[in-house]
Amino acid sequence: MKWLLVCCIVILGLASARADILEVTVVEPYVDMHSGPASEYPVFHIIEQGQSVAVLKTRTGWYKVRTAKGIEGWIVADDLVMAEIAPGQTVALPEYRFEDYQQRTFEFGVYTGRLDNSNSLSVSAAWAMTQNIVAEVSATQALGEYAENQLWLVRVQHFIFPKWRLSPYMTLGFGQIRTTPDTTLIQGGGESRTSDLMEVGLGARYYLLRNFSARLEYKRLTALTARDDLEELNQWQLGFSVFF
């Protein structure tokens, strides 16, 4: 019986240690509590000055809180930032800002655009080596009327003015392109061919909000085909990326 009691106390202790829910006290005259995580949801309760609430979870800039009386609702991040954890100690939320963008390590993006006369879709993963130089790998699928192209590139981007919100950049890269002719039009011609690829490009990125930025770029691709002549391709793309 004693053992059971000890076990219970230990388990309770562990449970409470693990569930270290953040408690904050409202210092503003009052804070609106919404019924859902968006400004459109109605305000159904007011948290008064001096009242404490437990912060349960977050979704897109909104925080779900529970009052001492057990009333649960959502408050906006701006109100939580004003609240105190202890007297004189406020909350600093992990929200991304433009300063964080300049210190980013990884960035992932998706883009859509045109590769010569076909529509293209691309994904990319990038590693920011310095503020100016970013290494990136990208994969593109371009579906044309007569052929399907798949290409990958390893590229280096050079940001000339990384501290500008709208910042131009230049790129250089290499990779491969695989072209598969359309089977319905070219009977039995489903055989694909692969060529090496060189790239030079120009682009601009614009920091949007939180950890998002948009990007517009133009690339000139040179495919080193088995034939005597080089094949030149032009690619335009627009997309957005998220950084961590």
Partner 1 sequence: MATRFLGVFLSTLLMTLPVSANLDQVVIEPQLERRDITEADIDSENFEVALFAGQVSVEDFSSGVLVGASLTYHVSENLFAEMAYGQAEAGQTSYEILSGGAQFLTDEERQYRYYDLAIGYKFNGEVFVSQGRALNSDFYFMLGGGNTDFAADSHFTLVLGAGYRLLLTDYLALRLDARDRIFSSELIGEQKETHNMQYTLGVSLFF
Q: Contact residues for partner 1 (CB under 8 A)?
A: 20, 22, 35-41, 55-64, 85, 88-94, 110, 112, 118-119, 121, 141, 143, 145, 148, 182-185, 190, 209-210, 212, 242
Nearer to partner 1, 85 or 156 (CB): 85
Closest approach of partner 1 to the CB of residue 21, in Å: 9
As measured in angstroms, the least distance from the Cβ of 121 to partner 1 is 6
Backbone angles phi, psi at 93, to 5 degrees: -80, 150
Indicate the residue among 22 and 200 with the shorter CB distance to partner 1. 22
Residue number with CB closer to partner 1 (60 or 103): 60
Q: How far is the CB of 219 from partner 1 (least distance, A)?
A: 18
Q: Contact at 8 Å (CB) between 65 and 73? A: yes
For the chain, the maximum distance between any two Cα atoms, rounded to a whole number of angstroms, is: 89
Cβ at position 10, least distance to partner 1 in Å: 24
Q: Are 153 and 137 in contact (CB under 8 A)?
A: yes
Q: How many Cα atoms occupy the beta-carbon half-sphere of 199 within 13 Å?
A: 29
Which tokens belong to 154? 């390893």
* Residue 167 token pair: 């910042």
CA distances, 98 to each of 95, 101, 162, 236, 238 (Å): 10, 5, 11, 26, 20
Q: Choose between 163 and 178: whose C-beta lies nearer to partner 1.
A: 178
Query: Closer to partner 1 at the Cβ: 41 or 174?
Result: 41
Least Cβ distance, residue 36 to partner 1 (angstroms): 4
